[in-house]
């Protein structure tokens, strides 16, 4: 795919989804990292339904660190894997207090040292919490980027690294959000709505 074609795809996606941003409700970086950890194998909508009460009870790392997982479980019981997630966010809060003064660190290596935080979560926090240009590859980004031909990779890590090479580095975060919105609203896994797709004529799948 040529550089010009890549830029045209990005421009159209941005025009189509001007509202594209992180869909997890949060007011600070602590709430963001907790919400992202909770979102694993769960919809953002489901997480947004449980976090208001959770954050009212535990608004910061010290308050959550002082809790026990079984005290946190009732707040997040409606989402999947809630028992394990309760353990993770309490352990995360305790490590933040023990090693980082109760603040979320702004670098990748420190973030992935936290319980429940992997590569995707760290990239989301760096992008939306600290304003860094990052590409977080979730199921939507992996599917859409490979389907339309931006990259041709078989796993998440290689997709992320290839996208970093293909996309202008000042558009990584914005593109990440636009691709997610496109995956949710048009380019579905089982039945993509190609008829109403804003990049249909540029999509490799439809123009082989």
> Degrees (nearest 5) of the Cα angle 93, 95, 96?
60
- According to the model, what pLDDT value does residue 207 have? 61
- According to the model, what pLDDT value does residue 205 have? 80
Q: Which of 120, 128, 154, 155 is catalytic?
A: 120
Residue 84: count of CB within 10 angstroms of its CB = 12
Identical fold between 3-20+135-206 and 29-130: no
Q: Which of 21, 110, 138, 158 is catalytic?
A: 138
- According to the model, what pLDDT value does residue 206 have? 67
Q: How many whole angstroms separate alpha carbon 91 and alpha carbon 113? A: 11
Stated length of the chain:
208
138 is catalytic: yes
- According to the model, what pLDDT value does residue 1 have? 81
Structure tokens at 171: 């558009």
Fold of 3-20+135-206: Endonuclease Iii, domain 2 (1.10.1670)
Fold of 29-130: Endonuclease III; domain 1 (1.10.340)
> Degrees (nearest 5) of the Cα angle 52, 54, 56?
70
State the Cα torsion 153-135-119-204 to the nearest 10°.
-20
Residues of the chain falling short of pLDDT 70: 206-208
205 is catalytic: no
Q: Which residue intervals of 25-107 are DSSP H helices? A: 29-38, 44-57, 61-65, 69-76, 82-99
Q: How many whole angstroms separate alpha carbon 186 and alpha carbon 168? A: 24
H or E element in which residue 144 lies: helix 139-148
**Sign (positive or negative) of CA dihedral 76, 80, 86, 89:** negative
Structure tokens at 132: 């860094």
Domain range annotation of the chain: 3-20+135-206, 29-130
Q: What is the pLDDT of residues 153-170, one digit of tens each?
A: 999 999 999 999 999 999
């Amino acid at each position: 795919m040529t550089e010009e074609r890549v830029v045209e795809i990005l421009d159209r996606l941005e025009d189509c989804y001007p509202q594209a941003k992180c869909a997890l409700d949060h007011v600070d970086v602590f709430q963001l990292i907790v919400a992202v950890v909770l979102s694993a194998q769960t919809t953002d909508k489901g997480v947004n339904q449980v976090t208001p009460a959770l954050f009212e009870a535990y608004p910061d790392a010290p308050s959550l660190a002082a809790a026990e997982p079984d005290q946190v479980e009732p707040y997040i019981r409606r989402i999947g894997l809630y028992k394990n997630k309760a353990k993770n966010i309490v352990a995360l809060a305790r490590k933040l207090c023990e090693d980082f003064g109760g603040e979320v660190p702004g670098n990748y290596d420190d973030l992935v040292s936290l319980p429940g935080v992997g590569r995707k979560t760290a990239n989301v926090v760096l992008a939306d919490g600290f304003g860094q240009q990052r590409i977080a590859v979730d199921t939507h980004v992996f599917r859409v980027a490979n389907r339309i031909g931006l990259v041709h990779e078989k796993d998440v890590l290689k997709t992320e690294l290839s996208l970093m090479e293909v996309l202008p580095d000042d558009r990584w975060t914005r593109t990440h959000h636009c691709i997610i919105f496109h995956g949710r609203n048009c380019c579905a896994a089982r039945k993509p709505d190609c008829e109403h797709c804003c990049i249909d004529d540029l999509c490799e799948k439809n123009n082989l």
